[in-house]
Amino acid sequence: GAVVSQHPSWVICKSGTSVKIECRSLDFQATTMFWYRQFPKQSLMLMATSNEGSKATYEQGVEKDKFLINHASLTLSTLTVTSAHPEDSSFYICSANGLAGATDTQYFGPGTRLTVL
């Protein structure tokens, strides 16, 4: 099946720093990628939809200036958590649809566990 990678798999940082997370589709081109966040014992919550070459669409309540998304190519989307604070500590997961958009399946990356001290 399709493979999506994320880097880094985990990161610990100090409060106030910015953290960049990369999401790559390894064996297919992804016109659309999604960024989710999951807090312990809660469901995945969609943060934003990232479209190649255009601005991301953010879900209600997600600050676009805090969570910067760049989808510069058909295989890479990045999420930058700016000025991270302890409440941003969470499991961040990306997923990707295929180029034709015909697939009904989203393939998930392995996730990035962010801990902000």
Positions touching other proteins (CB under 8 A) are 32, 34, 41-46, 49, 91, 93, 95, 97, 101, 104-106, 108-111, 113
Taking the least distance from each CB to other proteins, the nearer of 17 and 59 is: 59
Taking the least distance from each CB to other proteins, the nearer of 76 and 98 is: 98
- Please say whether the beta carbons of 93 and 40 come within 8 A: no
- Please say whether the beta carbons of 39 and 110 come within 8 A: no
CB of 10: closest distance to other proteins in angstroms?
A: 10
Q: Phi and psi of 72, rounded to 5°?
A: -80, -20
Secondary structure letter of residue 88 according to DSSP: G
CB of 105: closest distance to other proteins in angstroms?
A: 6
Taking the least distance from each CB to other proteins, the nearer of 78 and 95 is: 95
- Please say whether the beta carbons of 117 and 14 come within 8 A: yes
| Integer Cα distance of 52 and 15 in angstroms | 30
Q: Which amino acid is at 71?
A: H
CB of 78: closest distance to other proteins in angstroms?
A: 18
Taking the least distance from each CB to other proteins, the nearer of 8 and 110 is: 110
CB of 1: closest distance to other proteins in angstroms?
A: 9
